[in-house]
Amino acid sequence: MLLLSELIGRRVREATGEESGRLRDLAVRLNEPYPSVTRLRVGRGRRRRLVDRAQVADIGDEAIQLRAGPDGARSAF
C-alpha cells in the first residue's frame, strides 16, 4: 500500500531520466468506493504542472518515473 505522506516530495523523472520536479500533490476521483489517483501535481521552483496518471511508468523508492511522450502533461494554472 502506498501512503500519500511517503510520496509527497519524491523526485519525478522524465522517460529520459531528467528530473522534472518533485511530487507536490495528487488529484483523486472521489465518486468510487476507493478513490483512484487521476493526476499528479509536479513542481519545480515556482512552476507546477499536472501529469496524467497514465504517464506514470513506475513508482520507485527514490523516484516516480514517467513514460515517454508529452500527452499526459500540461501546465497547471
Residue range 31-58, pLDDT digits in tens: 878 888 999 999 999 999 999 999 999 9
Which among 75, 28, 4 has a CA at the least distance from the CA of 20?
A: 75
Q: Which helix (H) or strand (E) holds 61?
A: none
Q: Indicate which CATH number applies to the domain containing 38.
A: 2.30.30.240
Residue 77 forms part of a structural domain: no
Q: Is the pLDDT of residue 72 over 60?
A: no
Q: What is the DSSP string of 10-36?
A: -EEE-TTS-EEEEEEEEEEE-SSSS-E
**64 in a domain, yes or no?**
yes
Structural domain span for residue 60: 4-70
User: Could you tell me if residue 40 is inside a domain?
Assistant: yes
Number of domains present in the structure of the chain: 1
Does residue 75 lie within any of the structural domains?
no
User: How far is residue 63's CA from residue 15's CA, in Å, rounded to a whole number?
Assistant: 12
